[in-house]
Amino acid sequence: MTENMIPIEYVILFAMAIVEVIRKRIPESWNDLKPFVAFMIAIGCNVANAALFGGDALIAGREAFIAAGVALAMFGGGSAIGKIIAPKQTTTTVTTVITTPTEVETGKMTETSAVSGDKSQNG
C-alpha cells in the first residue's frame, strides 16, 4: 500500500455514508441484499482509492474486504443487540363504542295510590 492513500478507516466511513444515503431508496424486497451492496460499495471505494493514489488495487480490495466485513458485523451485531434490549414497541388501536342510554320505563305512582299507601301505613 502506498503512503499517499487515504486510510482504510476513512474509506469505510465514506462508504457507510454512501450506503446510508441509498439505503432508503432500495426497495424493501431487496432487504436481504442490502449488506452485500454495502460490502461491495466499501470494497469499490477502497479500490478507487488505490487507483487514484497509485496503490495496489488487489491489496486495497483485500484490506477493504476485511475492514468492511468487520464493520458490517459490528453494525449487524449492534442492531441485533439493540432489538433484544429495546424491542420496537407496537401500538394497538382500541376502539371504544359509546352507546346512548335507552329510556327505561318505570311504573308511575299516582297520587291516590301514594296517599292510600300512606294511609295504610299510618292507620
Computed over its alpha carbons, how large is the radius of gyration of the chain? 37
Contact (Cβ atoms closer than 8 angstroms) between residue 6 and residue 49: yes
pLDDT of residue 47: 94
SS3 state of residue 94:
coil
pLDDT at 114: 47
Contact 67, 38 (CB under 8 A): no
In the block, cell 320505563 appears at: 105
103-123 in b/e form (b: 16+ CB < 10 A) is eeeeeeeeeeeeeeeeeeeee
Neighbours of 57 (CB within 10 A): 13
Is the pTM higher than 0.75? The answer reads no
pLDDT at 113: 46
Low-confidence ranges of the chain (pLDDT < 50): 111, 113-118, 120, 123
